[in-house]
Amino acid sequence: MEWPACLNEFEKLLLRMDTPRVAIDNAECPNATLVKVDSARKHGILLEAVQVITDLNLSIKKAYISSDGRWFMDVFHVTDLDGNKLKDENVISYMEQSLGCIHFTRSCEYKGVTALELTGTDRIGLLSEVFAVLADLNCTIVDAKVWTHNGRIASHIYVKDCDSGCQIEDSQRIRRIESRLRPVLKGDNDIRSAKTTVSMSVTHNERRLHQMMFDDRDYERTPSTSSLKYDAPDVSVQNWIERGYSVVNIQCKDRPKLLFDVVCTLTDMEYVVFHATISTQGSRAYLKGNALFSVYRQPFKGEHLRLELYTMDRPNLLADVTRTFRENCLNVARAEISTTDEDMALNIFYVTDAEGYTPDSKTIDSVREKIGLSNLKVKELPMIYHQNTERNEAGAGVGGAMLLSLGSLVRKNLYNLGLIRSHS
């Protein structure tokens, strides 16, 4: 292992002692790959370990988390999103190396770009308006992630100057970008102030979105009564004062990145998992431990439709595509925007109709014809999304994004127990 040049020999010795020991076993379990991590305990290390696994688009089917004094041991039962054991040696090797380095702070891979952080009121067509403003301001979108929840939207967007291809550093231009975007994000019926900021953060993209949602206090809004009928998670919180911790039990619908979302929110609330057991049975996930669990991403009323756009990148591409969505009453509930080294755009959109249900095939066919049948394709979701085949029914939400979260239920329990306070 190559050590940072600033470290002396004593510091290198300490790091060797604390470097996580990683073992990946494909033989012990018949239907999953076992990933074992032993390490000195520090705040946030569980999140970093789970982040490595989820960034590889892998699913954690079971997990056992335990700590004793300064040491912790985690065991993860990992599969790909189709439920198969890991076979690709490159993926296994990369995961082993990454988990062995989780004590080191990893810097952001994005260089030469400007990071925009946007928070506001969600509505149909909002993303189209945001991208149109950025295009009008001569900004090229290099990468972006967009989340919606409980009538709010949070987005982390990396942009650069369209002409020079360089980072936008002019303070006057940055202020202009912020001032143009703020009224768009605020909307006509804003329940809370919109925020547009330029960030110098090197935080993991989805990790930062969790922080933005938490700071925005999206969980303080009460979902509609009808939405609570939709596969409502079963959450209970017990405050064991004599033992110095709280116990949370959760049963909910399983999905990819569930554990990542759980640990992110827990870390934002400045709590630490000492012991926990996570398991899945069919379409359900069971989480039990001495910790506080909550999540943001939840399924929509119907199955959301995943659309993948793969085409040559060009100015105004995102503005044009999302305008077509808006004109056909499609709501973008989540988006992942990226560009390849070959100047190809790979954009993933999770869409619903205006009421939050799965769009009908005629609407999708019409949208694909306008954008290009070979460019925009409907992608089958991994097996984990299809394990529960029952149609779920619930009430409408703002822009299709009034989504039930365990975060809302957990935090209400915590308020009653006096464990956390309002951020207002």
| Residue 120 and residue 93 share a domain | no
393, part of any domain: no
| Residue 377 and residue 310 share a domain | yes
- Alpha helix locations (H) across 56-170? 89-99, 126-136
161, part of any domain: yes
Percent of the chain with pLDDT over 70: 74
CB 290 within 8 A of CB 247: yes
Of 209, 108, 91, 143, residue with least CA distance to 341? 143
* pLDDT over threshold 80, residue 17: no
* CATH code for the domain of 37: 3.30.70.260
Higher pLDDT, 17 or 391: 17
| Residue 194 and residue 57 share a domain | no
CA of residue 150 relative to chain centroid, distance:
15
| Residue 173 and residue 208 share a domain | yes
Percent of the chain with pLDDT over 90: 33
CA of residue 282 relative to chain centroid, distance:
23
| Residue 341 and residue 197 share a domain | yes
| Residue 120 and residue 92 share a domain | no
Residue type, 65: I
pLDDT digits (tens, 9 = 90+) for 55-78: 898 999 999 988 876 788 899 999
Per-residue model confidence (pLDDT) at position 409: 47
| Residue 353 and residue 327 share a domain | yes
205, part of any domain: yes
Residue 77's DSSP bridge partners are 34, 62
pLDDT band at 220 (very low <50, low <70, confident <90, very high): low
* CATH code for the domain of 140: 3.40.1020.10
pLDDT digits (tens, 9 = 90+) for 246-255: 888 878 888 7
Per-residue model confidence (pLDDT) at position 7: 59
Count of other CB atoms within 10 angstroms of residue 270: 9
| Residue 121 and residue 204 share a domain | yes
* pLDDT over threshold 70, residue 309: yes
409, part of any domain: no
Per-residue model confidence (pLDDT) at position 63: 92
400, part of any domain: no
Measured in degrees and rounded to the nearest 5, phi and psi for residue 19 equal -60, 130
State how many domains the chain has. Answer: 2
Measured in degrees and rounded to the nearest 5, phi and psi for residue 327 equal -65, -20
pLDDT digits (tens, 9 = 90+) for 118-174: 998 888 899 999 999 999 999 999 899 998 888 889 999 999 998 888 888 888 999
> Which residue range forms the structural domain that includes residue 79?
19-99
* pLDDT over threshold 60, residue 302: no
309, part of any domain: yes
Q: pTM of the predicted model, to two decimals? A: 0.70
Per-residue model confidence (pLDDT) at position 225: 44
Per-residue model confidence (pLDDT) at position 221: 60
